[in-house]
């Protein structure tokens, strides 16, 4: 699907300012929408919104459908009466520029438990009816997720393959009995999801009313320790006796890890089983995502054409093999069910002509990353260079997996890459982030996205993630003071100059 010429900022909601240790869906999110509007941006790109479980990564979550309860605004709960202002007076002095997930999760869980208890004992009939109606509309995934979350808590957070057999692999009758046994705990998780989705819908309505659209993110794979795998083991390649993955996902040695590759550990789908029921699980996943965002980036798009299959007991991703995926059959099923797809294909990495053909067959924009454009050979055919772009693509200075542009320039760019960029733009590089912003903004690409760190010119200490490395990432936060930086005005002017402002008019002079 082609998109109008526009630009936006990449910032995950966890990176927003706020007094409770993590960004949330409260006032700071609405202020960021206003920031985007004043900077003449019309797109807000985010990362996956699910409840995180391992290394705090939004790409490893308890569910492909559920929302992250840590994003629920506690202040909005107080405004709605589920909490009282005095309940939040004990908020610790959380750090301003980083998320300390352990402390944050403990605090938020305590307050969400209190809100649930108030709801159970004080909610009027209209509130309870709204809750029950929402649960009914989302029953296809909600009941399994809530039971899974309750059982996981009952087992001290252990992976589901370590639970008792009647909870790890319950029959339909056992599952129903477990729902009754853990009825209150199950309802508490359903309550959290209702709060998350209600607050998100309110934020999205506000953003859309201001002319701002959300770009969401679907990781191609799901976590093994998730409600998706636990509730649907027949859709994944698992050992039937233990539930362990027979084969797992990753990529061979690459730019980010040239020695071992990236061992992600996600179980691979049983694509034959998925095809047999018309890809119903995937269609439901995409439909649910498109209810909360306006466009969606599919991470690791190339895995639909062929994916890297690694033995389940491997320690690195080196010894894998390429296996054919569902290819066009999945996207044909998407279009039959959902119509024309507002999808961005993350087509980075080892891209073959077959992957390009799949992307182009469905008119999906691919991705261009400017940090990858400049190297030691300035005369090579590098399709990340702006003069090779087509209109139907999305260009980034860098993604959430890259260093910040200032960090890249300081610590990663070779002397050849530095010389290449200087020659390409025709002057010495004083502000590498603004040089890449101008290149992306002025390109023919329909869409340009810049991470918030690059708008502010932050160094490598603000990096969001480093693929293949575990721990210490996903924690960066922007501060209120940084959002008052004059970079907003500079970004607005560059947006007007490149004809990407919502008005669609280029500035004159």
Instruction: Please list the active-site residues.
Output: 299, 346, 401
The rounded distance, in Å, linking the Cα atoms of 92 and 437 is: 38
For the chain, the residue count is 509
How do strand 306-311 and strand 247-251 relate by DSSP bridges? antiparallel
H/E element holding 213? strand 213-219
* CA proximity to 368, closest of 273, 455, 290, 436: 436
* CA proximity to 182, closest of 170, 198, 197: 170
Query: Which residue is it, tokens 């054919």?
Result: 324
* CA proximity to 448, closest of 372, 385, 367: 367
293 near 208, Cβ under 8 Å?
no
* CA proximity to 18, closest of 85, 83, 99, 81: 99
Residue 221 phi/psi, 5-degree rounding, is -105, 160
C-alpha Rg value of the chain to the nearest Å: 23
Residue 112 phi/psi, 5-degree rounding, is -70, -35
């Amino acid at each position: 699907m082609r998109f109008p010429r526009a630009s936006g900022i990449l910032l995950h909601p966890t990176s927003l300012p706020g007094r409770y240790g993590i960004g949330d869906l409260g006032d700071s999110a609405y202020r960021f929408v206003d920031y985007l509007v004043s900077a003449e941006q019309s797109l807000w790109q985010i990362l996956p919104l699910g409840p995180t479980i391992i290394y705090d990564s939004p790409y490893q979550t308890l569910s492909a459908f559920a929302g992250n309860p840590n994003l629920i605004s506690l202040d909005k709960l107080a405004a709605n009466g589920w909490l009282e202002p005095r309940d939040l007076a004990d908020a610790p002095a959380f750090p301003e520029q980083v998320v300390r997930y352990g402390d944050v999760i403990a605090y938020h869980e305590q307050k969400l438990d209190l809100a649930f208890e108030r709801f159970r004992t004080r909610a009027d009939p209209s509130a309870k009816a709204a809750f029950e109606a929402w649960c009914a509309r989302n029953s296809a995934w909600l009941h399994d997720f809530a039971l899974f979350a309750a059982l996981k808590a009952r087992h001290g957070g252990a992976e589901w393959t370590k639970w008792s057999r009647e909870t790890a692999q319950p029959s339909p009758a056992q599952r129903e009995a477990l729902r009754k046994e853990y009825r209150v705990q199950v309802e508490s998780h359903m309550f959290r999801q209702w709060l998350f989705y209600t607050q998100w819908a309110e934020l999205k309505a506000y953003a859309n009313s201001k002319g701002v659209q959300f770009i969401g993110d679907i990781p191609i794979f799901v976590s093994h320790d998730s409600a998706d795998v636990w509730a649907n083991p027949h859709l994944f390649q698992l050992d039937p006796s233990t539930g362990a993955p027979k084969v797992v996902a990753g990529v061979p040695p690459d730019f980010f890890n040239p020695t071992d590759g990236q061992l992600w550990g996600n179980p691979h789908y049983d694509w034959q089983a998925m095809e047999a029921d018309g890809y119903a699980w995937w269609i439901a996943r995409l439909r649910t995502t498109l209810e909360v965002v306006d466009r969606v980036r599919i991470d690791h798009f190339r895995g639909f054409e062929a994916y890297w299959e690694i033995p389940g007991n491997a320690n690195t991703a080196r010894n894998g093999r390429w296996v054919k995926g569902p290819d066009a059959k999945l996207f044909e099923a998407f279009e039959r069910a959902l119509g024309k797809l507002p999808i961005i294909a993350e087509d980075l990495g080892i891209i073959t002509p077959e992957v390009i053909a799949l992307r182009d067959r469905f008119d999906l924009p691919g991705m261009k990353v400017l940090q990858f454009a400049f190297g030691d050979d300035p005369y090579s055919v590098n399709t990340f260079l702006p003069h090779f772009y087509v209109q139907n693509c999305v260009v980034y200075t860098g993604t959430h997996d890259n260093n910040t542009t200032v960090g890249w320039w300081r610590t990663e760019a070779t002397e050849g890459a530095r010389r290449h960029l200087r020659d390409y733009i025709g002057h010495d590089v004083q502000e590498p982030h603004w040089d890449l912003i101008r290149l992306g903004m002025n390109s023919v690409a329909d869409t340009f996205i810049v991470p918030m760190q690059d708008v502010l010119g932050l160094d490598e200490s603000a990096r969001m993630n480093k693929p293949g490395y575990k721990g210490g990432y996903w924690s960066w936060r922007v501060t209120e003071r940084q959002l008052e930086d004059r970079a907003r005005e500079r970004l607005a002017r560059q947006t007007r100059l490149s004809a990407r402002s919502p008005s669609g008019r280029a500035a004159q002079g």
